Structure 1
């Protein structure tokens, strides 16, 4: 299933790149999804290329029954966001992978952080959500899509707050 989303931030691409590489932001982003537990680490720095590796254990209370039988009472998500060094305007490209441990579900996406020219920037995500299960794969993808979109909107809200708290 193809997924795409755009998130516009009221800050420069360089500022948003620093935010995305900040362990405090990553912790706040993950906490906002209400995990049972989580951990993350950032490798590299916003001045160059960096990788954010995150693990979240999530409850499955809101997971549709068709998917819950594959994951049980909780599911473990491994997310890896890899970003290139910034261009002159602060923009950069990257990739994101989210894997569900113990279930054949993965999201692979290309990322772009683009300066908008008005002091703001847009983070673009475009990728594929795949569930490799015969007969029910499409149902699993449809079941996972709302959670993925909710996580994107949650990250946007956390990012906007993060930037507003540090402005000025």
Structure 2
């Protein structure tokens, strides 16, 4: 299942990249998704290539009820964002989101694009796959909604962060 999320920040691309590479911001955005616990690791800086790795425990409320007994009351979500070094007016990266305890994985690309008005648009495009015989489509649909909402929550946290 294809997942696409777009967020526009009222800040330049260098400021947005610096925010995304800031460990304090990453912890803030993870909390904004409803995580009950988290681990954050940022390697590199926005002046070069950088990687952001997070692990968070989330309530399993977005997982269909018939599968919650398998995963329990919470799931661990691992997310890795690998950003390439700066380009003229853009940044590119890859993202992988895995939900342990549920055979679900999102693999995709990310882009930061500087807009003519000075804002920056953060694009996330990915393919969500669930390897659950007979029920993959239902699991993908339920998980896609949760992933879209998590990226939207991260976007709201980013807007608040940049406005301070």
Q: What TM-score comes out, normalization by structure 2 length?
A: 0.96
Aligned to 1:10: 10
Aligned to 1:83: 83
Helix, strand or coil at the partner of 1:95: strand
Distance in 2 between residues matched to 1:158 and 1:117, nearest whole Å: 23
Distance in 2 between residues matched to 1:66 and 1:141, nearest whole Å: 14
Contact 2:94–2:110 (8 Å) recurs in 1:
yes
Aligned to 1:148: 147
Q: What TM-score comes out, normalization by structure 1 length?
A: 0.93
Helix, strand or coil at the partner of 1:16: helix
Q: State the 1:66 CA deviation.
A: 3.0
Aligned to 2:27: 27
Aligned to 1:56: 56
Superposed, which structure 2 residues align to 1:58-137 within 5 Å? 58-89=58-89, 91-137=90-136
Distance in 2 between residues matched to 1:30 and 1:67, nearest whole Å: 24
Deviates more, 1:48-57 or 1:32-41: 32-41
- Deviation per residue, 1:60-112 (Å, 9 max, x gap): 245321331331111001000000001133x2100110001122100111101
Deviates more, 1:73-82 or 1:58-67: 58-67
Distance in 2 between residues matched to 1:66 and 1:112, nearest whole Å: 36
Distance in 1 between residues matched to 2:134 and 2:119, nearest whole Å: 44
Helix, strand or coil at the partner of 1:48: coil
User: What RMSD over aligned residues (CA atoms) do the two structures have, in Å?
Assistant: 1.1
Contact 1:66–1:140 (8 Å) recurs in 2:
no
Distance in 2 between residues matched to 1:132 and 1:157, nearest whole Å: 31
Helix, strand or coil at the partner of 1:46: coil
What stretches of structure 1 of length at least 5 have no aligned partner? none
Distance in 2 between residues matched to 1:48 and 1:70, nearest whole Å: 41
Q: State the 1:149 CA deviation.
A: 1.1
Distance in 1 between residues matched to 2:109 and 2:67, nearest whole Å: 25
Give the ranges of 4+ consecutive aligned residues of structure 1 lying more than 4 Å apart after TM superposition. none
Helix, strand or coil at the partner of 2:109: strand
